């Protein structure tokens, strides 16, 4: 059983999947930072200095100045600003994955180009290679169809 487990783990697909998960997690952190630290501040500035991560609906009835203040007080909140950031994270990751898959597909199609049209054929009588448009074999002088 241990040998089977070892064989399973050492298969290329399992290792590839493990590497993809690790890289995906790191990539997710990069995208989250890109959204929260680079994209959302200018968007918030364009939309009347709104900080998306601080947008929330207070369900407790008491007023709170910020989301962190409401959370520290244990108030029930709907954090739609954090949700918007997460949606933007997802859209960026989906776009990057789409572009990567599209590029890989194009590269695979380019490598699998259709074979070129033949430019030679074989004479059916003397079996020498002759041009495809030839109507007479230059070696045995047989009339070809």
Model confidence pLDDT, tens digit, residues 77-96: 998 988 988 888 788 878 88
Which residues 6+ apart lie within 8 Å of 125 measured at CB? Answer: 137, 140, 142
- My answer on whether 74 and 119 are in the same domain is no
Q: Which domain holds residue 136?
A: 115-145
pTM for this one? 0.54
Average pLDDT for residues 98-111, to the nearest whole number?
86
Q: DSSP state, 138? A: T
Q: Do 109 and 127 reside in the same domain of the chain? A: no
Residues 52 and 97 occupy one common structural domain: yes
Distance CA 3, CA 70 (A): 54
pLDDT at 145 over 80: no
Distance CA 81, CA 52 (A): 5
Residue 12 — very low, low, confident or very high, per pLDDT cuts 50/70/90?
low
> Is residue 22 domain-shared with residue 51, that is, in the same domain?
yes
Please give the span between the terminal C-alpha atoms of the chain, in angstroms, as a whole number: 67
Looking at the fold, whether 119 and 107 belong to one and the same domain comes out as no
134 and 75 part of one domain: no
Q: What are phi and psi of 130, to 5 degrees?
A: -135, 160
């Amino acid at each position: 059983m241990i040998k089977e487990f070892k064989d399973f783990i050492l298969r290329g697909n399992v290792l590839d999947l493990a590497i993809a998960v690790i890289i995906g997690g790191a990539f997710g952190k990069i995208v989250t930072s890109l959204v929260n630290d680079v994209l959302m501040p200018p968007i918030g500035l364009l939309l009347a200095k709104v900080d998306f991560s601080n947008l929330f609906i207070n369900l407790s009835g008491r007023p709170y100045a910020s989301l962190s203040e409401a959370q520290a007080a244990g108030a029930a909140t709907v954090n739609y600003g954090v949700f918007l950031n997460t949606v933007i994270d997802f859209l960026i990751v989906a776009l990057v994955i789409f572009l990567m898959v599209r590029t890989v597909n194009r590269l695979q199609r380019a490598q699998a180009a259709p074979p070129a049209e033949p430019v030679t054929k074989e004479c059916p009588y003397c079996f020498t290679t002759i041009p495809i448009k030839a109507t007479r074999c230059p070696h045995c002088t047989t009339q070809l169809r």
